[in-house]
Structure 1
Amino acid sequence: MEKAQGRRLKISAGADEFSPRRATPGLESGACICHCHKMGQVAGGRVLVIDRVHRALIEELEARGLRVVYRPGMGRRELLEALEEYEVLVLRGRLRVDEEVLERGSRLRVVARAGTGLDNIDLRAAAARGVKVVNAPEGAVESVAELAIGLMICAARMMPQLCWSVKQGSWERPLGVELAGKTLAIVGLGRIGARVAALARCLGMRVVAYDKRDVSRRCALLGAEAAASLHEALSRADVISLHVP
């Protein structure tokens, strides 16, 4: 989060696609893995999890008879040494799954991203090796949207500055600004962007959205306005929230 020129605030909170429903983090990826197991695509069923995930994901996989090794924080070197023993790799965005990783994972059949984006996975290399890539596009919608709104409130009310001031023994009383009545520009009206728009409307904010796709119908459902260009959206904004890769 950073303060932009003049009165605008810029909030950045990830990339996504639109959906009105919620999902438990990790379970979407787990469901895809279990489907692949059922279809015989992960024979042997050994799963390596190298990042922290919701316990529900581990329980779901084990309930389906898959053998899970939970090693959050595993480094790239360790991954390269261990991966040849597994059919499934579960990770977040910390490490990159590139040609070298896929080559070491000779038995690998599924790479599951416990989260939204697939930026850290070489999709072409995976497809060339017949490795299925799945993710959880709805798992973080609510938490990321709430975080974006929370950051807006923190910036508008100058909470970081006030926190620092109190720690220094001072008791300043800056006024800050209210979000009600302000215009929020959302760049990227996917799943998370749409949820941010809905929450912002509850705060009494006006919402204008820009996306490279036609989102006029989606905006109408959300009570937002569709901007014809990025420049139009930004020029009208008091607050900017980015939801693009």
Structure 2
Amino acid sequence: MNEKILIADEVSQLGIRRLESAGFQVDVKTGLSEDELCETIKEYNAIIIRSSTKITEKILSNAKNLKIIGRAGVGVDNINVEAATKYGIVVVNSPEGNIISAAEHTFGLIISLLRNIPQADRSVRNLEWKRNKFTGHELYRKTIGIIGLGKVGSNVAKYAKAFGMKVIGYDPYITLDRAREMGIVLMPLDEVFKEADIITVHVPKTKETYHLVNEERIQLMKKGSYIVNAARGGVVDENAVAKALRSGHLAGAASDVFENEPIVPDNPYISIENTVLTPHIGAATKEAQVNVILDVVDQIIAFFDGRIPHGAVNLPAFRGVSDDLLPWIDLAERLGKFVKDLVADRVNKIEIVYYGDIAKKNVNSISISVLKGYLIKVKGNYVSFVNALALANELGIRYTEIKESGDVDFKSMITVRVLTDSGIRSVSGTILSDQKPRIIEIDSYRVDAFPEGYLLVSRHRDKPGIIGRFGTILGKNNINIAGMQLGRNLSSGLAVMILSVDSEVNDDVLEELLSKGDIEELRSIYLS
């Protein structure tokens, strides 16, 4: 192979040797600035990074020969994935290489916290022998509340059960059957905070999870309980935790991640004794570092060998798919995202129903796109065509593909139907002659809307004044309405409205819109 690979962060030599053995030319150049990387990247076909190097759009615009970016780790926050996709560059990561390390580190933090190990160590080094000062607590029969039951969270649950702990958890995307298999009692989020002696979070940082652990939820916790964060900085409100530690409401907190990294001098944890802090080393084991680089290297080798890498985050083109299916793949992903934001309940099954001409095609790639769209809203941008089905299985979400031969009002149509704990919801879409995607039905309500940008979806009493109220309240908050679609059901006396707006609608505005009691459901949806 003649491809040139740039290693921009420190990685295991085993990965470098494997690339060289496969015939690649490998250069290691670490610590490059953005401007230096803009110049250097021009001659390379692939780049491998860890968390230090940031791949910006400016860098990508100069990467004329770049075909693939390998992130030796899980998070892709330091890569502009959208820009990479625009330039046709595949982004791969290694979502499973450091799972064990992250779970073990979480448990190390928990034990250190409850047994005061770091504080006792410092005391002994000062030639003190204050045994009574460091009396701690057993884990046995304590209740651990795990927020996020993916691979790391489920491993933490396994370790907790080995210590004789009661395991409760919250994850709105995992099915009850899957939780039972793992021996975890699922509860609503606030109930987990009320019941747990220890809260540990294992979720990605998204708009929905930012400050998930906040002052209100901390106040729900028992006096003398603990909080651990080895997931992502920003998921926990550090100031709220510090306040609860100083007041004595919380007995301790441990964190491997911080809102600002490296940690800043005014971080509220630094001056508080009953904290355990580590510098984002959850994945920093020799085994994990070897695992992630070898995984990424194997994916790069596979890519240049013409195979699809299993950890592809974006996959700019779904290989082997005919051009006439590409608009349907795009529509399917948008429908998956839409139905995720539309439905508040736990989803147990996704049915993808095809009508008309599209039902005569090989629709596997379209079905996977629905799952991909749904799961991106759950798991983040590392979901791809390659791993979407496996991730759905991991969550216990079943999916079926149905082809109907009956007549419909459109030449072709897709319906995404989700079975939740409380019932069935559906959204349908099509591609019209302009090759643009449309949402044409929500549940039994006919509409005609473009699935893009910021949308407000309302189900409300079909009576005068409601549309005017939306206009008044949104206008008062400087939110412009770009378009409106209304579907009515005369027998039920209800209507569904889709408003396309130019900016995000925050929670305060949503609450004001809901204040009259005549809106049964209101969802804010964003489709990129």
**Residues 43-82 of structure 1: pairs in structure 2 closer than 5 A:** 44-82=2-40
Q: TM-score when scaled to structure 2?
A: 0.37
Structure 2 distance, partners of 1:67, 1:186, is 45
Is 1:206–2:173 an aligned residue pair?
no
- Secondary structure, aligned partner of 2:79: coil
The 8 Å contact of residues 145 and 168 in structure 2, kept in 1 or not, is answered as yes
Structure 2 distance, partners of 1:221, 1:138, is 21
Deviation at 1:55, TM superposition (A): 2.6
Residues 173-200 of structure 1: CA deviation (Å, up to 9, x unaligned): 1220011111111111111111111111
Structure 2 distance, partners of 1:215, 1:157, is 34
The 8 Å contact of residues 189 and 215 in structure 1, kept in 2 or not, is answered as no
The 8 Å contact of residues 7 and 27 in structure 2, kept in 1 or not, is answered as yes
Question: Paired residue for 1:236?
Answer: 195
Identity value in percent: 37
Deviation at 1:168, TM superposition (A): 2.1
User: Taking structure 1 as reference, are residues 74 and 216 closer, same or farther at Cα in structure 2, changes over 3 Å only?
Assistant: farther
Deviation at 1:202, TM superposition (A): 1.0
Question: Paired residue for 2:49?
Answer: 91
Residues 91-150 of structure 1: CA deviation (Å, up to 9, x unaligned): 112232121111121211101110011122111111111000100011101111111111
Structure 2 distance, partners of 1:185, 1:56, is 38
Question: Paired residue for 1:104?
Answer: 62
User: Taking structure 1 as reference, are residues 214 and 96 closer, same or farther at Cα in structure 2, changes over 3 Å only?
Assistant: same
**Residues 146-165 of structure 1: pairs in structure 2 closer than 5 A:** 146-165=104-123
**Residues 161-176 of structure 1: pairs in structure 2 closer than 5 A:** 161-173=119-131, 174-176=134-136
Is 1:193–2:120 an aligned residue pair?
no
Question: Paired residue for 1:122?
Answer: 80
Question: Paired residue for 2:100?
Answer: 142
Q: Mean Cα displacement is larger for which, 114-123 or 65-74?
A: 65-74
Residues 75-99 of structure 1: CA deviation (Å, up to 9, x unaligned): 4333222111111111112232121
The 8 Å contact of residues 8 and 53 in structure 2, kept in 1 or not, is answered as no
Residues 198-228 of structure 1: CA deviation (Å, up to 9, x unaligned): 111111111112123134233222211112x
Structure 2 distance, partners of 1:91, 1:53, is 8
Structure 2 distance, partners of 1:218, 1:66, is 43
Residues 22-44 of structure 1: CA deviation (Å, up to 9, x unaligned): xxxxxxxxxxxxxxxxxxxxx73
The 8 Å contact of residues 109 and 131 in structure 1, kept in 2 or not, is answered as yes
Moved over 6 A (4+): none
User: Taking structure 1 as reference, are residues 120 and 185 closer, same or farther at Cα in structure 2, changes over 3 Å only?
Assistant: same
Q: Mean Cα displacement is larger for which, 233-242 or 67-76?
A: 67-76
For the aligned residue pairs, the C-alpha RMSD in angstroms reads 1.6
Q: Mean Cα displacement is larger for which, 176-185 or 52-61?
A: 52-61
Structure 2 distance, partners of 1:205, 1:238, is 10
Higher relative contact order (CA 8 A, sep 6+): 1
Structure 1 distance, partners of 2:47, 2:135, is 50
The 8 Å contact of residues 31 and 53 in structure 2, kept in 1 or not, is answered as no
Deviation at 1:157, TM superposition (A): 0.3
User: Taking structure 1 as reference, are residues 142 and 72 closer, same or farther at Cα in structure 2, changes over 3 Å only?
Assistant: farther
Return 5+ residue gaps in structure 2 as ranges: 205-528
Q: Mean Cα displacement is larger for which, 66-75 or 202-211?
A: 66-75
Structure 2 distance, partners of 1:167, 1:215, is 49
Residues 1-47 of structure 1: CA deviation (Å, up to 9, x unaligned): xxxxxxxxxxxxxxxxxxxxxxxxxxxxxxxxxxxxxxxxxx73111
Structure 2 distance, partners of 1:217, 1:117, is 28
Return 5+ residue gaps in structure 1 as ranges: 1-42
Residues 38-70 of structure 1: CA deviation (Å, up to 9, x unaligned): xxxxx7311111112233322222221111112
The 8 Å contact of residues 2 and 23 in structure 2, kept in 1 or not, is answered as no
Structure 2 distance, partners of 1:102, 1:83, is 8
Name the one with the larger strand percent. 2
